Homo-oligomer: A and B are copies of this chain.
Amino acid sequence: MSYFDVASAAPLHPVARQALVAALDEGWADPARLYREGRRARLLLDAARDAAAEAVGCRPDELSFTPSGTRALHSAVAGAAAGRRRTGRHVVVSAVEHSAVLHAAAPYDTTEVAVDRRGRVDPAVFAAALRPDTALACLQSANHEVGTLQPVAEAAAACRGAGVPLLVDAAQSLAWGPVSGDWSLLAGSAHKWGGPPGVGLLVVRKGTRFAPQEPADERESGRAPGFENLPAIVAAAASLRAVRAEAAAEAARLSALVDRIRARVPQLVPDVEVVGHERLRLPHVVTFSCLYVDGEALLSGLDRAGFSVSSGSSCTSSTLTPSHVLKAMGVLSEGNVRVSLPPGTAAEDVERFLATLPRVVADVRAQTGADTVPGAANEPAATGSSDDAGATEPGAGLVVDSLGKRCPIPVIELAKVIGEVPLGGLVTVLSDDEAARLDIPAWCAMREQEYVGERPAERGAAYVVRRRV
């Protein structure tokens, strides 16, 4: 088995495991108590806070331990926005923030700053979104789905100039180094860096207005109610220190493996789009999407072949909508795969993945009949005809009814019939799958066809494409 989903959760670092087991014996008591066991727990908590603060680059009294990265982000958004409620209720976020940020920001008047096709925010556009009534701005250090680094230092400088606090979601990058720039708040998550679950970090720089919105509680500077998860906190801090010691060497090694995946996958698998920034990226994350591929089938094929990866495809999530990150980037969401390599990943495992992937993709395409799509690898000679060929309608050209069919079927049906209309002719795809909104334009871009636009239909939407090649 090769586990390539460290961006979801990392296996426990050996140092974390050792620290956790030791702290179970030494750190179970209430650190607020004055007796021996409590004082011992307090010492462990203080030492963990010092270590974590040093790794983050903040003062220990600016750092609170929370029950998770998600809770840290929730508390950060609510506390910072409430601290500046007199300024206004406007919150700036990038369109590709983690859902924990987007959900926490939902009650506010929110501006989502767009990203480019590689998932990166333009710092000037981010700065321009700041308003006199902006209470808070939020920008991740690196994207969790495609690995693109964000211009945090530039955004922080712009925020500082405008008097707006910047919250940095550093969950994906904290293993690799501190976040540079003059940010005001920061959140992290220990199980992303080989610490145990149950520990997040919330950093609130001195001078940042902050009004915790949870009920009053004296623990963790009033910023994280509830009994401290001390053994896990001790393990989290130990693990952060340990991964940082290995970070520079491991970043270089994994980054080379990611470069290899980025280069080889499009050579090995037809109709693939590698997404995310090729240079300004996390060392260990690479994401690509495969045309005409059902994401869940692909994941399960890779799982059977011994590879654990995740996907932003709609068909693999419970919400039936494609990842908001891929959507914001405007890239294909079909057959999406995120590979995130744990520290220590062997080059041979990556080669084995590259050797396996083409067969798995081909199998999945054969299952959905995508292997008969004209232009697809191993396709039979184009016949100009298909079971799904639809009727023609005045003004709509050829109409393909994909209602009730889930991703990637609408795109496969489009690909099968496009040859049936003359150059300059129209194909209209009727679809009620949310992913079609993303994948039909993405297919057009990859296939050099013209995406004309969409209009509402009785059910779902009608997506109009003009044949150009």
Contacts and interface: CB of A to CB of B under 8 A. Distances in A.
A218 B318 CA distance: 9
Q: Could you say which of A1, A9, A197, A309 has the most chain B C-beta atoms within 10 Å of its C-beta? A: A197
B68 A227 contact: yes
A230 B191 CA distance: 11
Given A24-B20, A35-B299, A310-B33, A71 B226 contact: yes
Contacts of A218: 318-319
A154 interface: no
Interface string A214-250: 1111100000011111111000000000000000000
A32 to B, nearest CB: 8
Given A12-B24, A29-B9, A103-B217, A230 B197 contact: yes
A393 interface: no
A128 interface: no
A69 B215 contact: no
A143 interface: no
Contacts of A8: 29-30, 33
Contacts of A100: 215, 217, 225-226
Contacts of A302: 35
A34 B228 CA distance: 31
A30 B1 contact: no
A169 B77 CA distance: 29
Q: Which bracket fits the contact residues of A?
A: 35 or more
> What's the number of copies of this chain in the assembled complex?
2
Interface in A293-308: 296, 299-300, 302-303, 307-308
Contact of A227 (B28, B189, B231): B189
Contacts of A320: none
B5 A231 contact: no
Interface in A75-133: 77, 99-100, 103-104, 106
A33 B340 CA distance: 14
A68 B67 contact: yes
A3 interface: yes
A147 interface: no
Nearest to A31: B9
B37 A215 contact: no
A188 interface: no
A425 interface: no
A227 B35 contact: no
Contact of A67 (B28, B229, B308): B229
Interface in A303-338: 303, 307-310, 316, 318-319
Interface of A: 1, 3, 5, 8-12, 17, 20-21, 24-25, 28-30, 33-38, 67-71, 74, 77, 99-100, 103-104, 106, 189, 191, 196-198, 200, 214-218, 225-232, 296, 299-300, 302-303, 307-310, 316, 318-319
Q: Which 3 A-B pairs have the closest CB atoms?
A: A67-B67, A68-B226, A198-B229
